[in-house]
Amino acid sequence: DQQVKQNSPSLSVQEGRISILNCDYTNSMFDYFLWYKKYPAEGPTFLISISSIKDKNEDGRFTVFLNKSAKHLSLHIVPSQPGDSAVYFCAASQLLNAGGTSYGKLTFGQGTILTVHP
């Protein structure tokens, strides 16, 4: 049961253009969403996040959009640079029910390989 899905295994973009990475989720209890970038042999690097009370969050070249009704989020990178080439993961977390709280459990998508060509 894959609760977070990234349906595009790979994306190729020209330098300077926009990169759009997509992510869908099925669990309506998710309330916090994150994007990570990962290079081989390194751990994921946090890029940007958004809570479920917002529909957009910007940080420099990175913007995340959240559409709760569609259970869909996307990451826009503008302009794309060759150094952005990496695997991008979306992730989601939820506040546990029944009085338990845990913010360290993220459910990850399978990742999208972004290649930015010079």
- Nearer Cβ to other proteins (71/109): 109
- CB 107: neighbour CB atoms within 10 A? 15
CB of 7 to other proteins, least distance (A): 14
CB of 17 to other proteins, least distance (A): 27
Listing DSSP states for 76-116 in one string gives: EESS--GGG-EEEEEEEE---STT---SS--EE---EEEEE
**d(C-alpha 73, C-alpha 50), whole Å:** 10
- Nearer Cβ to other proteins (77/92): 92
Provide the binding-site residues for other proteins, judged by CB under 8 A.
32, 34, 36, 41-46, 49, 51, 89, 91, 95-96, 100-111
**d(C-alpha 102, C-alpha 62), whole Å:** 27
- Nearer Cβ to other proteins (41/118): 41
- Nearer Cβ to other proteins (79/107): 107
CB of 108 to other proteins, least distance (A): 4
Q: At a CB cut-off of 8 Å and minimum separation 6, what does 94 contact? A: 27, 29, 30, 31, 32
CB of 86 to other proteins, least distance (A): 14
